[in-house]
Structure 1
Amino acid sequence: MKIVIVDDHPLVRKGLIAILAKEEGIEWVGESDTVQDAIALIEREKPDLAIVDVKLGADSGYDLVGRLRHLPCHFMMLTSSASEADIRRAEACGADGFVLKEAEPEELLLAIRIVGRGRKYFDPNLLGTMLRKESDDPLDKLTPKEREVLRGLGEGLSNGAMAKKLVVSEFTVKKHVSRIFRKLNLNDRTQAALFAQAQGLGSYSPDKRKQGSSV
Protein backbone atom coordinates (compact mmCIF):
# COMPACT_ATOMS: atom_id res chain seq x y z
CA MET A 1 0.00 0.00 0.00
CA LYS A 2 1.45 3.37 -1.06
CA ILE A 3 0.93 6.19 1.46
CA VAL A 4 1.58 9.94 1.50
CA ILE A 5 1.51 12.15 4.59
CA VAL A 6 0.15 15.69 4.59
CA ASP A 7 0.85 17.58 7.83
CA ASP A 8 2.36 20.99 8.57
CA HIS A 9 4.27 19.76 11.64
CA PRO A 10 7.68 18.21 10.74
CA LEU A 11 7.83 16.16 13.96
CA VAL A 12 4.43 14.60 13.26
CA ARG A 13 5.49 13.69 9.71
CA LYS A 14 8.73 12.13 10.92
CA GLY A 15 6.90 10.17 13.62
CA LEU A 16 4.38 8.80 11.12
CA ILE A 17 7.13 7.91 8.66
CA ALA A 18 8.99 6.00 11.41
CA ILE A 19 5.84 4.00 12.22
CA LEU A 20 5.11 3.20 8.57
CA ALA A 21 8.71 2.20 7.83
CA LYS A 22 8.45 -0.76 10.22
CA GLU A 23 5.25 -2.15 8.71
CA GLU A 24 5.41 -4.81 6.03
CA GLY A 25 3.29 -4.13 2.96
CA ILE A 26 3.23 -0.35 3.48
CA GLU A 27 5.35 2.02 1.42
CA TRP A 28 5.75 5.70 2.29
CA VAL A 29 6.08 7.59 -1.02
CA GLY A 30 6.10 11.25 -0.02
CA GLU A 31 5.17 14.03 2.39
CA SER A 32 3.84 17.56 2.14
CA ASP A 33 2.99 20.46 4.44
CA THR A 34 0.68 22.54 2.20
CA VAL A 35 -2.48 21.93 0.20
CA GLN A 36 -0.96 22.95 -3.14
CA ASP A 37 2.14 20.78 -2.73
CA ALA A 38 -0.04 17.89 -1.52
CA ILE A 39 -2.23 18.08 -4.62
CA ALA A 40 0.82 17.87 -6.88
CA LEU A 41 2.30 15.04 -4.78
CA ILE A 42 -0.86 12.94 -4.77
CA GLU A 43 -1.50 13.42 -8.48
CA ARG A 44 2.10 12.45 -9.23
CA GLU A 45 2.56 9.48 -6.88
CA LYS A 46 -1.02 8.10 -7.10
CA PRO A 47 -0.99 6.68 -3.55
CA ASP A 48 -3.54 4.24 -2.19
CA LEU A 49 -3.98 6.32 0.96
CA ALA A 50 -3.30 9.88 2.07
CA ILE A 51 -3.07 10.70 5.78
CA VAL A 52 -4.17 14.34 6.02
CA ASP A 53 -3.99 16.76 8.95
CA VAL A 54 -7.24 18.64 9.54
CA LYS A 55 -5.42 21.97 9.82
CA LEU A 56 -2.72 22.84 7.30
CA GLY A 57 -1.61 26.30 8.31
CA ALA A 58 -4.27 28.73 7.09
CA ASP A 59 -5.79 26.02 4.88
CA SER A 60 -8.01 23.05 5.63
CA GLY A 61 -7.33 19.37 5.11
CA TYR A 62 -11.05 18.95 4.42
CA ASP A 63 -10.72 21.20 1.35
CA LEU A 64 -7.82 19.08 0.10
CA VAL A 65 -9.86 15.90 0.38
CA GLY A 66 -12.84 17.50 -1.32
CA ARG A 67 -10.71 18.63 -4.27
CA LEU A 68 -9.11 15.21 -4.76
CA ARG A 69 -12.09 13.01 -3.96
CA HIS A 70 -12.37 12.04 -7.64
CA LEU A 71 -9.01 10.25 -7.53
CA PRO A 72 -8.69 6.51 -6.71
CA CYS A 73 -7.17 7.35 -3.33
CA HIS A 74 -8.49 6.86 0.20
CA PHE A 75 -8.19 9.73 2.69
CA MET A 76 -7.79 9.52 6.45
CA MET A 77 -8.00 12.65 8.59
CA LEU A 78 -5.57 13.10 11.47
CA THR A 79 -6.02 15.64 14.26
CA SER A 80 -5.10 16.37 17.88
CA SER A 81 -8.72 17.04 18.86
CA ALA A 82 -12.13 16.88 17.24
CA SER A 83 -15.71 17.98 17.75
CA GLU A 84 -18.86 16.40 16.40
CA ALA A 85 -18.83 19.10 13.67
CA ASP A 86 -15.32 18.01 12.62
CA ILE A 87 -16.44 14.43 12.22
CA ARG A 88 -19.51 15.44 10.24
CA ARG A 89 -17.38 17.62 7.99
CA ALA A 90 -14.95 14.76 7.40
CA GLU A 91 -17.84 12.57 6.29
CA ALA A 92 -19.25 15.34 4.09
CA CYS A 93 -15.99 15.97 2.21
CA GLY A 94 -15.57 12.25 1.53
CA ALA A 95 -12.91 11.24 4.06
CA ASP A 96 -12.72 7.50 4.75
CA GLY A 97 -11.36 7.72 8.28
CA PHE A 98 -10.72 9.96 11.27
CA VAL A 99 -7.97 9.27 13.81
CA LEU A 100 -6.65 11.26 16.76
CA LYS A 101 -2.91 12.00 16.93
CA GLU A 102 -2.87 10.55 20.45
CA ALA A 103 -3.74 7.10 19.04
CA GLU A 104 -1.31 4.27 19.72
CA PRO A 105 0.78 3.14 16.70
CA GLU A 106 -1.08 -0.18 16.65
CA GLU A 107 -4.42 1.60 16.38
CA LEU A 108 -3.14 3.88 13.62
CA LEU A 109 -1.90 0.90 11.63
CA LEU A 110 -5.21 -0.89 12.16
CA ALA A 111 -7.03 2.19 10.85
CA ILE A 112 -4.73 2.34 7.83
CA ARG A 113 -5.39 -1.32 7.01
CA ILE A 114 -9.16 -0.88 7.34
CA VAL A 115 -9.32 2.30 5.25
CA GLY A 116 -6.91 0.79 2.72
CA ARG A 117 -9.41 -2.04 2.19
CA GLY A 118 -12.07 0.48 1.26
CA ARG A 119 -13.90 0.52 4.59
CA LYS A 120 -14.61 3.38 7.00
CA TYR A 121 -12.77 3.89 10.26
CA PHE A 122 -13.50 6.45 12.98
CA ASP A 123 -11.61 6.58 16.27
CA PRO A 124 -13.72 4.67 18.84
CA ASN A 125 -13.51 7.59 21.29
CA LEU A 126 -14.98 9.86 18.63
CA LEU A 127 -17.75 7.35 17.99
CA GLY A 128 -18.56 7.49 21.67
CA THR A 129 -18.69 11.30 21.56
CA MET A 130 -21.08 11.22 18.62
CA LEU A 131 -23.36 8.69 20.27
CA ARG A 132 -23.42 10.58 23.57
CA LYS A 133 -24.79 13.58 21.65
CA GLU A 134 -27.81 11.47 20.83
CA SER A 135 -28.16 9.73 24.20
CA ASP A 136 -26.72 10.28 27.67
CA ASP A 137 -25.69 6.63 27.53
CA PRO A 138 -25.47 5.05 24.04
CA LEU A 139 -25.82 1.62 25.63
CA ASP A 140 -29.37 2.58 26.64
CA LYS A 141 -30.28 1.93 23.00
CA LEU A 142 -29.47 -1.76 23.42
CA THR A 143 -31.46 -4.56 25.02
CA PRO A 144 -29.72 -6.55 27.80
CA LYS A 145 -29.03 -9.39 25.35
CA GLU A 146 -27.59 -6.97 22.78
CA ARG A 147 -25.27 -5.60 25.44
CA GLU A 148 -24.00 -9.11 26.09
CA VAL A 149 -23.39 -9.60 22.37
CA LEU A 150 -21.58 -6.24 22.22
CA ARG A 151 -19.39 -7.43 25.09
CA GLY A 152 -18.65 -10.57 23.09
CA LEU A 153 -17.65 -8.44 20.10
CA GLY A 154 -15.37 -6.47 22.42
CA GLU A 155 -13.75 -9.74 23.43
CA GLY A 156 -13.24 -10.72 19.78
CA LEU A 157 -15.57 -13.73 19.99
CA SER A 158 -17.02 -15.37 16.89
CA ASN A 159 -20.78 -15.70 16.43
CA GLY A 160 -20.48 -19.39 17.26
CA ALA A 161 -18.58 -18.73 20.48
CA MET A 162 -21.13 -16.13 21.56
CA ALA A 163 -24.00 -18.50 20.77
CA LYS A 164 -22.46 -21.09 23.10
CA LYS A 165 -21.78 -18.57 25.82
CA LEU A 166 -25.28 -17.05 25.72
CA VAL A 167 -27.04 -20.38 25.07
CA VAL A 168 -28.79 -19.17 21.92
CA SER A 169 -28.56 -20.07 18.24
CA GLU A 170 -25.89 -18.59 15.99
CA PHE A 171 -28.70 -17.15 13.85
CA THR A 172 -29.98 -15.24 16.90
CA VAL A 173 -26.50 -13.87 17.55
CA LYS A 174 -26.28 -12.66 13.94
CA LYS A 175 -29.59 -10.82 14.35
CA HIS A 176 -28.33 -9.16 17.54
CA VAL A 177 -25.09 -8.10 15.82
CA SER A 178 -27.01 -6.55 12.92
CA ARG A 179 -29.25 -4.64 15.32
CA ILE A 180 -26.23 -3.38 17.28
CA PHE A 181 -24.68 -2.05 14.07
CA ARG A 182 -27.92 -0.29 13.15
CA LYS A 183 -28.66 1.18 16.61
CA LEU A 184 -25.12 2.44 17.21
CA ASN A 185 -24.43 3.47 13.59
CA LEU A 186 -21.41 1.15 13.31
CA ASN A 187 -20.10 -0.25 10.04
CA ASP A 188 -18.56 -3.57 11.03
CA ARG A 189 -17.33 -5.91 13.79
CA THR A 190 -14.01 -4.08 14.18
CA GLN A 191 -15.72 -0.76 14.91
CA ALA A 192 -18.12 -2.51 17.26
CA ALA A 193 -15.24 -4.18 19.11
CA LEU A 194 -13.34 -0.89 19.47
CA PHE A 195 -16.49 0.89 20.62
CA ALA A 196 -17.20 -1.86 23.14
CA GLN A 197 -13.71 -1.48 24.56
CA ALA A 198 -14.15 2.30 24.79
CA GLN A 199 -17.31 1.63 26.84
CA GLY A 200 -15.48 -0.79 29.14
CA LEU A 201 -17.02 -3.91 27.60
CA GLY A 202 -14.57 -6.67 26.72
CA SER A 203 -10.87 -6.45 26.01
CA TYR A 204 -10.24 -5.98 22.29
CA SER A 205 -6.98 -6.77 20.51
CA PRO A 206 -6.35 -6.61 16.73
CA ASP A 207 -4.97 -10.16 16.95
CA LYS A 208 -8.40 -11.39 18.03
CA ARG A 209 -10.07 -10.26 14.82
CA LYS A 210 -9.30 -13.65 13.28
CA GLN A 211 -11.80 -15.15 15.72
CA GLY A 212 -14.65 -13.00 14.35
CA SER A 213 -17.03 -13.79 11.55
CA SER A 214 -19.14 -11.69 9.24
CA VAL A 215 -22.69 -10.78 10.11
Structure 2
Amino acid sequence: MTADRCAMTTPIRVVVAEDHPAVRSGLVALLDSAPDITVVAEAADGDAALAAARAHRPDVVLTDVRMPGATGIEITPRLRETGANVLVISGFDLDDYVLGALAAGADGYLVKTEDPQRILTAVRDVHRGDAVLSAAATRAVVGALRGRAEDEAGRPGSVAGGAAVGPAASADPGASVGPEPSFTRREEDVLALVAQGLSNQQIARELFVEITTVKSHLSHALTKLQLDSRVQAALWWQQHRG
Protein backbone atom coordinates (compact mmCIF):
# COMPACT_ATOMS: atom_id res chain seq x y z
CA MET A 1 0.00 0.00 0.00
CA THR A 2 1.35 3.41 -0.92
CA ALA A 3 2.01 6.16 1.62
CA ASP A 4 -0.71 8.29 0.05
CA ARG A 5 -3.26 5.51 0.34
CA CYS A 6 -2.27 4.90 3.95
CA ALA A 7 -2.77 8.59 4.66
CA MET A 8 -6.29 8.34 3.21
CA THR A 9 -7.21 5.27 5.28
CA THR A 10 -5.64 6.62 8.46
CA PRO A 11 -6.67 10.27 8.84
CA ILE A 12 -4.48 12.72 10.71
CA ARG A 13 -6.04 13.04 14.16
CA VAL A 14 -6.21 16.63 15.39
CA VAL A 15 -7.18 18.43 18.59
CA VAL A 16 -8.28 22.04 18.07
CA ALA A 17 -7.67 24.43 20.98
CA GLU A 18 -9.22 27.88 20.55
CA ASP A 19 -11.13 29.98 23.07
CA HIS A 20 -13.35 31.86 20.61
CA PRO A 21 -16.30 29.56 19.73
CA ALA A 22 -16.84 30.97 16.23
CA VAL A 23 -13.17 30.68 15.29
CA ARG A 24 -12.95 27.19 16.79
CA SER A 25 -16.03 26.06 14.86
CA GLY A 26 -14.56 27.45 11.65
CA LEU A 27 -11.29 25.63 12.16
CA VAL A 28 -13.05 22.37 13.01
CA ALA A 29 -15.26 22.64 9.92
CA LEU A 30 -12.24 23.38 7.75
CA LEU A 31 -10.22 20.46 9.06
CA ASP A 32 -13.11 18.00 8.93
CA SER A 33 -13.74 18.98 5.30
CA ALA A 34 -10.44 17.34 4.35
CA PRO A 35 -10.71 13.57 3.75
CA ASP A 36 -7.30 12.91 5.31
CA ILE A 37 -7.86 14.91 8.53
CA THR A 38 -10.26 14.33 11.41
CA VAL A 39 -10.84 16.42 14.55
CA VAL A 40 -10.94 14.12 17.57
CA ALA A 41 -11.52 16.80 20.23
CA GLU A 42 -12.00 20.51 20.81
CA ALA A 43 -10.82 22.67 23.71
CA ALA A 44 -11.56 26.21 24.84
CA ASP A 45 -8.54 26.71 27.09
CA GLY A 46 -5.05 25.42 27.71
CA ASP A 47 -5.90 22.98 30.49
CA ALA A 48 -8.69 21.41 28.42
CA ALA A 49 -6.35 21.15 25.44
CA LEU A 50 -3.77 19.29 27.48
CA ALA A 51 -6.43 16.96 28.92
CA ALA A 52 -7.75 16.26 25.41
CA ALA A 53 -4.27 15.52 24.10
CA ARG A 54 -3.60 13.11 26.93
CA ALA A 55 -6.95 11.39 26.43
CA HIS A 56 -6.98 11.15 22.63
CA ARG A 57 -3.26 11.04 21.76
CA PRO A 58 -3.70 13.09 18.55
CA ASP A 59 -1.14 13.39 15.80
CA VAL A 60 -1.37 17.18 15.79
CA VAL A 61 -2.63 19.83 18.20
CA LEU A 62 -3.69 23.08 16.56
CA THR A 63 -3.61 25.63 19.36
CA ASP A 64 -4.19 29.34 19.74
CA VAL A 65 -1.28 31.23 21.26
CA ARG A 66 -3.50 33.10 23.74
CA MET A 67 -6.19 31.31 25.75
CA PRO A 68 -7.63 31.50 29.27
CA GLY A 69 -5.49 29.76 31.86
CA ALA A 70 -2.40 28.15 30.39
CA THR A 71 -1.47 29.67 27.03
CA GLY A 72 -0.61 27.76 23.88
CA ILE A 73 3.05 28.53 24.49
CA GLU A 74 2.95 27.27 28.07
CA ILE A 75 1.31 23.96 27.20
CA THR A 76 3.39 23.21 24.10
CA PRO A 77 6.13 21.22 25.89
CA ARG A 78 3.50 19.11 27.67
CA LEU A 79 1.55 18.59 24.46
CA ARG A 80 4.70 17.28 22.80
CA GLU A 81 5.11 14.82 25.67
CA THR A 82 1.88 13.16 24.52
CA GLY A 83 3.50 12.45 21.16
CA ALA A 84 1.66 15.20 19.28
CA ASN A 85 3.20 17.70 16.93
CA VAL A 86 2.14 21.25 17.76
CA LEU A 87 0.98 23.89 15.30
CA VAL A 88 0.39 27.28 16.90
CA ILE A 89 -2.09 29.58 15.18
CA SER A 90 -2.65 33.14 16.29
CA GLY A 91 -4.11 36.48 15.39
CA PHE A 92 -0.75 38.00 16.29
CA ASP A 93 2.58 37.98 14.46
CA LEU A 94 4.47 39.73 17.27
CA ASP A 95 8.07 38.67 17.77
CA ASP A 96 7.54 37.65 21.40
CA TYR A 97 4.74 35.24 20.54
CA VAL A 98 6.56 33.70 17.58
CA LEU A 99 9.87 33.23 19.38
CA GLY A 100 8.14 32.05 22.54
CA ALA A 101 6.18 29.39 20.65
CA LEU A 102 9.24 28.15 18.77
CA ALA A 103 11.36 28.12 21.91
CA ALA A 104 8.68 26.02 23.61
CA GLY A 105 8.99 23.42 20.86
CA ALA A 106 6.17 24.26 18.46
CA ASP A 107 6.55 22.68 15.03
CA GLY A 108 5.00 25.67 13.31
CA TYR A 109 3.43 29.08 13.69
CA LEU A 110 0.64 30.49 11.52
CA VAL A 111 -1.47 33.61 11.69
CA LYS A 112 -5.24 33.26 11.44
CA THR A 113 -5.39 35.31 8.25
CA GLU A 114 -3.75 32.45 6.35
CA ASP A 115 -5.62 30.99 3.40
CA PRO A 116 -7.69 27.96 4.53
CA GLN A 117 -5.80 25.64 2.20
CA ARG A 118 -2.55 26.84 3.74
CA ILE A 119 -3.81 25.78 7.18
CA LEU A 120 -4.72 22.31 5.88
CA THR A 121 -1.31 21.98 4.24
CA ALA A 122 0.40 23.10 7.45
CA VAL A 123 -1.36 20.40 9.47
CA ARG A 124 -0.18 17.79 6.98
CA ASP A 125 3.35 19.20 6.98
CA VAL A 126 3.82 19.16 10.76
CA HIS A 127 2.32 15.68 10.89
CA ARG A 128 5.08 14.55 8.52
CA GLY A 129 7.65 16.16 10.81
CA ASP A 130 8.29 19.22 8.67
CA ALA A 131 8.42 22.81 9.90
CA VAL A 132 5.84 25.47 9.09
CA LEU A 133 6.17 29.23 9.48
CA SER A 134 3.91 31.91 8.06
CA ALA A 135 5.60 34.73 6.17
CA ALA A 136 4.95 37.05 9.11
CA ALA A 137 6.48 34.59 11.57
CA THR A 138 9.52 34.13 9.34
CA ARG A 139 10.07 37.89 9.27
CA ALA A 140 9.89 37.99 13.07
CA VAL A 141 12.49 35.23 13.39
CA VAL A 142 14.84 36.73 10.81
CA GLY A 143 14.51 40.13 12.47
CA ALA A 144 15.36 38.68 15.87
CA LEU A 145 18.43 36.87 14.54
CA ARG A 146 19.58 39.98 12.68
CA GLY A 147 19.10 42.04 15.82
CA ARG A 148 21.23 39.66 17.84
CA ALA A 149 23.99 39.67 15.25
CA GLU A 150 24.05 43.46 15.20
CA ASP A 151 24.01 43.58 18.99
CA GLU A 152 26.93 41.16 19.29
CA ALA A 153 28.91 43.03 16.65
CA GLY A 154 28.37 46.37 18.38
CA ARG A 155 29.03 45.33 21.96
CA PRO A 156 32.50 43.84 22.56
CA GLY A 157 32.50 41.26 25.30
CA SER A 158 28.80 40.46 24.97
CA VAL A 159 27.88 36.83 25.47
CA ALA A 160 26.96 34.96 22.27
CA GLY A 161 23.25 34.54 22.00
CA GLY A 162 22.62 37.13 24.70
CA ALA A 163 21.01 39.91 22.68
CA ALA A 164 17.61 40.95 23.91
CA VAL A 165 14.64 40.36 21.67
CA GLY A 166 11.87 40.96 24.17
CA PRO A 167 10.49 38.64 26.87
CA ALA A 168 11.10 35.58 24.73
CA ALA A 169 14.84 36.20 24.62
CA SER A 170 15.65 33.96 27.57
CA ALA A 171 14.08 31.03 25.75
CA ASP A 172 15.30 31.87 22.26
CA PRO A 173 15.83 28.60 20.35
CA GLY A 174 18.85 30.09 18.59
CA ALA A 175 20.68 30.93 21.79
CA SER A 176 23.92 29.20 22.72
CA VAL A 177 23.65 27.08 25.86
CA GLY A 178 27.09 25.57 26.26
CA PRO A 179 29.78 23.80 24.20
CA GLU A 180 28.79 23.09 20.61
CA PRO A 181 27.93 19.40 20.20
CA SER A 182 29.84 17.09 17.89
CA PHE A 183 27.80 16.01 14.86
CA THR A 184 28.42 13.32 12.30
CA ARG A 185 28.89 14.50 8.73
CA ARG A 186 25.41 13.31 7.79
CA GLU A 187 23.83 15.05 10.78
CA GLU A 188 25.47 18.28 9.66
CA ASP A 189 24.21 17.76 6.11
CA VAL A 190 20.66 17.25 7.36
CA LEU A 191 20.78 20.25 9.71
CA ALA A 192 22.09 22.50 6.96
CA LEU A 193 19.24 21.49 4.65
CA VAL A 194 16.65 21.83 7.42
CA ALA A 195 17.92 25.38 7.95
CA GLN A 196 17.32 26.03 4.24
CA GLY A 197 13.67 25.12 4.76
CA LEU A 198 13.72 21.76 2.98
CA SER A 199 11.24 19.08 3.98
CA ASN A 200 12.32 15.57 4.98
CA GLN A 201 11.30 14.31 1.55
CA GLN A 202 13.34 17.00 -0.21
CA ILE A 203 16.34 16.29 2.02
CA ALA A 204 16.08 12.58 1.25
CA ARG A 205 16.17 13.34 -2.49
CA GLU A 206 19.07 15.77 -2.05
CA LEU A 207 21.17 13.27 -0.08
CA PHE A 208 20.00 10.14 -1.96
CA VAL A 209 18.79 8.44 1.22
CA GLU A 210 15.49 7.19 2.62
CA ILE A 211 13.18 9.53 4.54
CA THR A 212 13.56 7.29 7.60
CA THR A 213 17.31 7.91 7.45
CA VAL A 214 16.76 11.66 7.37
CA LYS A 215 14.43 11.44 10.37
CA SER A 216 16.99 9.35 12.26
CA HIS A 217 19.83 11.82 11.64
CA LEU A 218 17.61 14.75 12.60
CA SER A 219 16.44 13.00 15.77
CA HIS A 220 20.05 12.35 16.82
CA ALA A 221 20.99 15.98 16.11
CA LEU A 222 18.03 17.28 18.14
CA THR A 223 19.07 15.09 21.05
CA LYS A 224 22.62 16.42 20.92
CA LEU A 225 21.33 20.00 20.77
CA GLN A 226 18.78 19.33 23.52
CA LEU A 227 16.09 20.84 21.32
CA ASP A 228 12.53 19.72 20.65
CA SER A 229 11.73 20.61 17.05
CA ARG A 230 13.23 21.05 13.59
CA VAL A 231 12.32 24.73 13.71
CA GLN A 232 14.57 25.16 16.73
CA ALA A 233 17.30 23.20 14.97
CA ALA A 234 17.03 25.42 11.90
CA LEU A 235 17.33 28.54 14.04
CA TRP A 236 20.33 27.07 15.89
CA TRP A 237 22.08 26.30 12.61
CA GLN A 238 21.40 29.75 11.16
CA GLN A 239 22.70 31.36 14.34
CA HIS A 240 25.84 29.25 14.76
CA ARG A 241 26.75 27.99 11.28
CA GLY A 242 24.86 30.26 8.89
Say whether the fold is shared (TM-score over 0.5). Answer: yes
* Same amino acid, percent of matched pairs: 25
Q: Which of 34, 37, 41 is equivalent to 1:30?
A: 41
1:21 aligns with 2:32: yes
Give unmatched runs, 5+ long, in structure 2. Answer: 1-11, 148-188, 207-242
2:85–2:107: 8 Å Cα contact kept in structure 1? yes
Q: Which of 90, 113, 123 is equivalent to 2:101?
A: 90
1:189–1:214: 8 Å Cα contact kept in structure 2? no
Misfit runs of 4+, over 6 Å: none
Q: Which of 134, 141, 150 is equivalent to 1:130?
A: 141
1:71 aligns with 2:78: no
- Whichever residue aligns with residue 188 of structure 1, its letter is L
> Hey, what does 1:10 align to over in structure 2?
21
Per the TM alignment, residue 38 of structure 1 is displaced from its structure 2 partner at its CA by 1.6
> Hey, what does 1:150 align to over in structure 2?
none
Q: Which of 71, 77, 83 is equivalent to 1:60?
A: 71
CA distance, structure 1, for counterparts of residue 99 and residue 68 of structure 2: 21
DSSP 3-state at the match of 1:103: coil
TM-score norm. by structure 2 comes to 0.56
> Hey, what does 1:172 align to over in structure 2?
none
Per the TM alignment, residue 81 of structure 1 is displaced from its structure 2 partner at its CA by 1.0
DSSP 3-state at the match of 1:29: strand
Per the TM alignment, residue 25 of structure 1 is displaced from its structure 2 partner at its CA by 1.0
Per the TM alignment, residue 95 of structure 1 is displaced from its structure 2 partner at its CA by 0.7
> Hey, what does 1:114 align to over in structure 2?
125
Q: Which of 187, 195, 213 is equivalent to 2:197?
A: 187
Shift in CA distance, 135/183, structure 1 to aligned 2, threshold 3 Å: farther
User: What count of residue pairs does the alignment treat as equivalent?
Assistant: 153
CA distance, structure 2, for counterparts of residue 184 and residue 51 of structure 1: 22
1:52–1:78: 8 Å Cα contact kept in structure 2? yes
Per the TM alignment, residue 4 of structure 1 is displaced from its structure 2 partner at its CA by 0.7
CA distance, structure 1, for counterparts of residue 126 and residue 15 of structure 2: 14
Shift in CA distance, 186/124, structure 1 to aligned 2, threshold 3 Å: farther
Per the TM alignment, residue 100 of structure 1 is displaced from its structure 2 partner at its CA by 0.4
How far does the alpha carbon of each residue in 1:102-142 deviate from its partner, in whole angstroms, 9 at most, with x for none? 00101111111110101111112321333245559xxxxxx
CA distance, structure 2, for counterparts of residue 59 and residue 133 of structure 1: 25
Shift in CA distance, 125/35, structure 1 to aligned 2, threshold 3 Å: closer
CA distance, structure 1, for counterparts of residue 56 and residue 105 of structure 2: 20
DSSP 3-state at the match of 2:120: helix
- Whichever residue aligns with residue 41 of structure 1, its letter is A
CA distance, structure 1, for counterparts of residue 51 and residue 193 of structure 2: 41
CA distance, structure 1, for counterparts of residue 194 and residue 40 of structure 2: 37
Q: Which of 113, 123, 126 is equivalent to 1:102?
A: 113
- Whichever residue aligns with residue 42 of structure 2, its letter is E
Per the TM alignment, residue 40 of structure 1 is displaced from its structure 2 partner at its CA by 1.6
2:47–2:69: 8 Å Cα contact kept in structure 1? no
- Whichever residue aligns with residue 196 of structure 2, its letter is L
Per the TM alignment, residue 67 of structure 1 is displaced from its structure 2 partner at its CA by 2.2
